[in-house]
């Protein structure tokens, strides 16, 4: 895998820092709104747990968060704790009038909620945020989802917590169970994937196995995750730039479409490549991060930037004719999370992510302390 000349040229310049301006615009004291028309929030569409969980991930990952970013984290944490029921399940949809429109469950939103809570518990510089996130994570992590993708999202949160607290048995058990839920890659070199269809945020499954292999000392899981990620990155390269799978996905043996590419695919690849780089030190993974960042900056199938520097918002999708100019929560969060890897993308070394299992800034021990 090599970086295209276009991508390499782009990285002569400084990659922009992750922008939180549009995230602030999309957030009120309840939480993060889901949709926007261009840069204007669409309040009538309400909020969802999925996006507030992603918001907690990116705000908790900031190495030196501003007071404004910390306030965002507080809002997203409050949203998730409100969404959780006493059994550990989560609501997903809250309308503008603050009424839940669904029943608690264990779909993708459950997994993403645990991803956000585990990241906050392991990485937030604020002690009370770590404590509250740990309580909610522990309650949710006692449950399991029948969906391998939901389990993969939850496992990413478990991995973040284990890096801060290697003795956390709840997180370790969830991570171990996820390797079983994801399954074993197919031996076919042309389709080394555990499922018959690639859908969305596919790299999260590979990243969960890589994290489990590293943190649980499970070489088969690590090898499986790296094999899956290598293939996934390879099939989504076109002339050296990323051309990610579209929203329709790709069925084994079926046609491969290229329209309606979603930023979430690029963000998942960037995260997985950053994790693989930290675990293995292999140079191909920083290249994957560079290609992911470059996709947002315009090194993609149509050669157009996938974000608006004036607003800080990420565009909702890449069509055959250019970007969908709406700047919703998922696309903006995907932009932010990808740019959070900019030090690795610029060749300045991996961001502190794996292999440094020290306490978060301000903590007195490696284990987040529960309780008031």
Predicted confidence band of residue 7 (pLDDT cuts 50, 70, 90)? very low
Reply yes or no on whether the pLDDT at 170 is more than 60. Answer: yes
pLDDT digits (tens, 9 = 90+) for 80-117: 999 999 999 999 999 999 999 999 999 999 999 999 99
Predicted confidence band of residue 2 (pLDDT cuts 50, 70, 90)? very low
According to the model, what pLDDT value does residue 257 have?
A: 87
According to the model, what pLDDT value does residue 186 have?
A: 95
pLDDT digits (tens, 9 = 90+) for 277-315: 999 999 999 999 999 999 999 999 999 999 999 999 999
Percentage of the chain exceeding pLDDT 70? 89
DSSP per-residue letters across 37-77: ETTEE-GGG-EEHHHHHHHHHHHHH-SS--HHHHHHHHHHH
* Token digits of residue 260: 């309606």
Reply yes or no on whether the pLDDT at 139 is more than 50. Answer: yes
According to the model, what pLDDT value does residue 232 have?
A: 98
Predicted confidence band of residue 348 (pLDDT cuts 50, 70, 90)? low
Reply yes or no on whether the pLDDT at 4 is more than 60. Answer: no
Please answer whether residues 339 and 15 qualify as being in contact, where contact means their C-beta atoms are separated by less than 8 angstroms: yes
Residue 151: count of CB within 10 angstroms of its CB: 27
The 8-class DSSP code of residue 88 comes to S
Predicted confidence band of residue 276 (pLDDT cuts 50, 70, 90)? very high
Distance separating alpha carbons of residues 141 and 305, to the nearest angstrom = 38
What is the mean pLDDT of the segment spanning 128-152? 98
What is the mean pLDDT of the segment spanning 125-154? 98
Contacts of 91 (CB under 8 A, 6+ apart): 49, 83, 85, 100, 102, 103, 104, 109
What is the mean pLDDT of the segment spanning 59-65? 96
What are phi and psi for residue 350, nearest 5 degrees?
A: -65, 140
Mean pLDDT check: name the lowest of 108-122, 160-174, 191-205, 339-353. Answer: 339-353
What are phi and psi for residue 300, nearest 5 degrees?
A: -140, -170
Helices (H), the chain: 5-10, 21-25, 49-61, 67-83, 108-123, 127-140, 148-164, 169-182, 203-215, 219-235, 263-280, 284-297, 329-339, 342-345
Residue 103: count of CB within 10 angstroms of its CB: 9
According to the model, what pLDDT value does residue 238 have?
A: 94
Distance separating alpha carbons of residues 324 and 141, to the nearest angstrom = 36
pLDDT digits (tens, 9 = 90+) for 48-60: 999 999 999 999 9
E strand or H helix at 323: strand 322-324
According to the model, what pLDDT value does residue 367 have?
A: 35
Percentage of the chain exceeding pLDDT 90? 88
Q: Average pLDDT, whole number, for the chain?
A: 91
Reply yes or no on whether the pLDDT at 359 is more than 80. Answer: no
According to the model, what pLDDT value does residue 365 have?
A: 29
Reply yes or no on whether the pLDDT at 263 is more than 60. Answer: yes
């Amino acid at each position: 895998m090599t970086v295209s000349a276009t991508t390499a040229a782009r990285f002569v310049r400084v990659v922009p820092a992750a922008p939180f301006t549009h995230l602030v615009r999309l957030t009120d004291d309840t939480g993060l709104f889901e949709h926007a028309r261009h840069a204007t929030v669409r309040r009538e569409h309400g909020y969802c747990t999925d996006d507030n969980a992603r918001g907690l991930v990116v705000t908790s990952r900031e190495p030196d968060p501003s007071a404004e970013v910390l306030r965002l984290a507080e809002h997203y944490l409050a949203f998730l704790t409100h969404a959780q029921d006493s059994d550990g399940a989560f609501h997903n949809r809250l309308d503008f009038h603050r009424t839940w429109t669904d029943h608690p469950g264990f779909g993708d939103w459950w997994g993403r909620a645990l991803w956000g809570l585990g990241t906050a518990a392991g990485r937030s510089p604020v002690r009370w945020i770590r404590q509250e996130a740990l309580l909610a994570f522990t309650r949710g992590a006692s449950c399991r989802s029948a969906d391998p993708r939901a389990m993969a999202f939850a496992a990413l949160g478990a991995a973040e917590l284990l890096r801060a607290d290697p003795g956390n048995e709840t997180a370790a058990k969830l991570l171990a169970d996820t390797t079983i839920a994801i399954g074993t890659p197919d031996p076919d070199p042309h389709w080394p994937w555990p499922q018959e269809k690639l859908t969305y945020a596919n790299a999260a499954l590979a990243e969960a196995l890589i994290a489990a292999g590293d943190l649980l000392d499970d070489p088969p899981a690590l090898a499986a995750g790296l094999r899956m990620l290598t293939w996934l990155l390879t099939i989504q390269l076109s002339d050296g730039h990323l051309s990610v799978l579209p929203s329709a996905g790709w069925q084994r043996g079926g046609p491969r479409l290229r329209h309606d590419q979603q930023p979430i695919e690029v963000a998942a690849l960037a995260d997985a490549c950053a994790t693989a780089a930290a675990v293995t030190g292999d140079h191909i993974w920083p290249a994957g991060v560079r290609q992911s960042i470059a996709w947002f900056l315009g090194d993609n199938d149509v050669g157009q930037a996938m974000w608006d520097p004036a607003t800080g918002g990420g565009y909702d999708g890449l069509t055959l004719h250019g970007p969908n100019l709406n700047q919703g929560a998922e696309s903006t969060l995907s932009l932010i999370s990808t740019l959070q890897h900019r030090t690795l993308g610029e060749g300045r070394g991996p961001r502190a992510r794996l292999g440094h299992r020290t306490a978060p800034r301000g903590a007195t021990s490696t284990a987040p302390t529960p309780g008031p």
